[in-house]
């Protein structure tokens, strides 16, 4: 059974908060021009047909997949805003799909559909980061409300995530020595102090600093310093989460 994608007017969510990373020089990866969709992953055609019709009727684009494997092969990450997944499926189950997406660092809001006796599995999935779960029979209005919230959350997070990824890409262009110089600049060191710490001439430090600007595609050192400080916070949070 193949997937299908239905796109209508979709939802339009606006975030009132401005990204900490928001800077014209960092906005190289744009949000998808089309609205984010809900992906339904369920081996029961009757379920994903009825839920697909419900969600489409609310003006939200939908894609349906008959299995977790099919979803992993065919899904469009640029359009996917939320997953609606049956917790029990033959082959790869809903929680196993959640684990696989986490391994791939492809994190989008995930809502589980559970049957009788599956609540404990859903609670465990929530502890691993699932957005919500619904027990059959599903309350349609509550489901639509949670889907809209999940889509709004994903839409708000994407610009900041894209800017972080773009910053990381530019940072990777720096040579090891340029990274050392930049790190010391962020600490407030002068070129003379940096040259003493790196055992090189001040002129060499200035050359490295000059090379940093085009690679980072920023004309303002203050922007680079701010981004580096925020990068440290993000890296620190990631290390804590991994512990």
Quick: pLDDT tens for 91-125. 999 999 999 999 988 889 999 998 877 888 888 99
Cα 208 to Cα 105: distance, rounded to the nearest angstrom: 33
Residue with more model confidence, 58 or 226? 58
Return the pLDDT at 105: 82
Cα 36 to Cα 19: distance, rounded to the nearest angstrom: 19
DSSP state of 154: H
Q: Which residues contact 85 (CB under 8 A, 6 or more apart)?
A: 40, 41, 42, 68, 94, 97, 98, 110, 111, 112, 113
- DSSP 3-state of 134: strand
Q: Which residues contact 96 (CB under 8 A, 6 or more apart)?
A: 68
Cα 68 to Cα 113: distance, rounded to the nearest angstrom: 14
Lowest mean pLDDT among 29-43, 119-133, 225-239: 225-239
Question: Is there a cis peptide before residue 137, judged by omega within 30 degrees of 0?
Answer: yes
Return the pLDDT at 222: 78
Q: Is the pLDDT of residue 61 over 90?
A: yes
Residue with more model confidence, 45 or 30? 45
DSSP state of 26: G
Q: Is the pLDDT of residue 1 over 80?
A: no
> What is the CATH topology of the domain spanning 173-242?
Arc Repressor Mutant, subunit A (1.10.10)
Closest by CA to 62, choosing from 144, 4, 12, is 4
Lowest mean pLDDT among 53-62, 135-144, 188-197, 229-238: 229-238
Cα 110 to Cα 96: distance, rounded to the nearest angstrom: 12
- DSSP 3-state of 84: strand
For residue 29, name the pLDDT band (cuts at 50, 70, 90): very low
Task: In the chain, list all ranges with CATH 1.10.10.10.
Answer: 173-242
Return the pLDDT at 234: 53
* Average pLDDT of the residues of the chain: 81
pTM of the model: 0.61
The sign of the dihedral angle between the CA atoms of 58, 60, 63, 68 is negative
Task: In the chain, list all ranges with CATH 3.40.50.2300.
Answer: 18-159
Under 8 Å between Cβ of 131 and 81: no
Quick: pLDDT tens for 2-28. 445 443 333 333 334 444 444 445 444
Q: What is the rounded average pLDDT of the residues 115-140?
A: 89
Q: Which CATH architecture has domain 18-159?
A: 3-Layer(aba) Sandwich (3.40)
Return the pLDDT at 239: 52
Return the pLDDT at 140: 95
Quick: pLDDT tens for 189-213. 888 999 998 989 989 999 998 898 8
β-bridge partners, 86: 113
Cα 150 to Cα 217: distance, rounded to the nearest angstrom: 33
């Amino acid at each position: 059974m193949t997937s299908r994608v239905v796109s209508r007017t979709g939802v339009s969510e606006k975030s009132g908060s401005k990204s900490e990373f928001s800077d014209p020089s960092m906005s190289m990866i744009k949000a998808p021009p089309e609205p984010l969709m809900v992906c339904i992953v369920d081996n029961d055609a009757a379920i994903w047909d009825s839920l697909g019709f419900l969600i489409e009727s609310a003006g939200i684009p939908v894609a349906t997949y008959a299995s977790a494997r099919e979803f992993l092969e065919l899904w469009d990450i640029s359009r996917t805003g939320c997953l609606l997944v049956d917790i029990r499926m033959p082959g790869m189950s809903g929680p196993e799909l959640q684990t696989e997406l986490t391994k791939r660092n492809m994190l989008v809001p995930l809502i589980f559909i559970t049957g009788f006796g599956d609540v404990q599995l859903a609670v465990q999935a929530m502890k691993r980061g699932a957005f919500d779960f619904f027990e059959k029979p599903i309350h349609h209005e509550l489901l639509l409300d949670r889907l809209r919230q999940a889509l709004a959350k994903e839409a708000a997070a994407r610009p900041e995530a894209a800017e972080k990824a773009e910053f990381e890409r530019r940072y990777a262009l720096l040579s090891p020595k340029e990274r050392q110089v930049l790190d010391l600049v962020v600490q407030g060191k002068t070129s003379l102090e940096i040259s003493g710490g790196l055992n090189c001439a001040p002129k060499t430090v200035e050359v490295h600093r000059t090379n940093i600007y085009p690679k980072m595609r920023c004309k303002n050192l203050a922007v680079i310093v701010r981004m580096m400080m925020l990068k440290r916070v993000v890296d620190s949070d990631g290390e804590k989460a991994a512990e």
